[in-house]
Amino acid sequence: MQARKPNIVITGFMGTGKTTVGREVARRLNREFYDTDQIVEAQAGMTIAEIFDRYGEAHFREIERGVIEGLLAGKSGVVISTGGGTLLSPLDKRLMDSGIVFCLSAGVEVLEQRMCTSMSRPLLQAREAGVNIRALLKRRENQYKRFSHQIDTSDLSPEQAASELIRIYMEAI
């Protein structure tokens, strides 16, 4: 019997490249790729911004937990990209335990450049998006630091970040 491969779980602040890097990792390793935000949107029939607007963050997190439970049901060796706040909840510890977690990061200035024009980020819907990025990142910073596999994507292309992630993953398994 072949041992189950650990999942690759990618977390980090919005704009760090979780989805883009995750897709590239899955493509290179010939694995299934799941983006929890995209699954939430498909199940809810609305964007995350609309969910936040109509029902609030708590409702979004409920849907997200259901998505995670579905992903954990019998899957192994897949690549899972999470929303920026997903793994900050103790309820989602099971997702972390299902595989090797990688936390992507980027400098504040890089995040501002990547996200300030995005209207799809419900936690940044304000004229002061740069201030909001800094405040939200500051609140989450210590929680993100607890993940042992950190990759700063500030100066990396998605392909370079994927190569680094795969290198670390292969060494860890």
Query: What tens digit of pLDDT does each residue of 24-74 get?
Result: 999 999 999 999 999 999 999 999 989 999 999 889 988 998 898 888 887
User: What pLDDT is attached to residue 90?
Assistant: 66
Name the strand (E) or helix (H) holding 93: helix 93-97
Taking alpha carbons only, the member of 13, 12, 46 closest to residue 115 is 13
Taking alpha carbons only, the member of 36, 101, 21 closest to residue 70 is 36
| pLDDT exceeds 60 at position 122 | no
User: What pLDDT is attached to residue 127?
Assistant: 46
Average pLDDT of 126-148? 78
Average pLDDT of 98-107? 93
Residues 31 and 132: their CA atoms lie apart, in Å, by 35
Single-letter amino acid code for the residue at 148: S
| pLDDT exceeds 70 at position 2 | no
Residue 94 burial class via C-beta count within 10 angstroms: exposed 0-12, middle 13-18, buried 19 and up? exposed
Give the phi and the psi of residue 81 in degrees, each rounded to 5.
-100, 130
- Write down the mean pLDDT value for the chain: 86
Residues 33 and 75: their CA atoms lie apart, in Å, by 11
Average pLDDT of 152-166? 98
| pLDDT exceeds 80 at position 14 | yes
Residues 25 and 40: their CA atoms lie apart, in Å, by 21
Name the strand (E) or helix (H) holding 162: helix 158-172
Query: How many contiguous H segments (helices) and E segments (strands) does the chain have?
Result: 8, 5
User: What pLDDT is attached to residue 126?
Assistant: 45
Domains annotated for the chain, with CATH where assigned, are 7-172 (3.40.50.300)
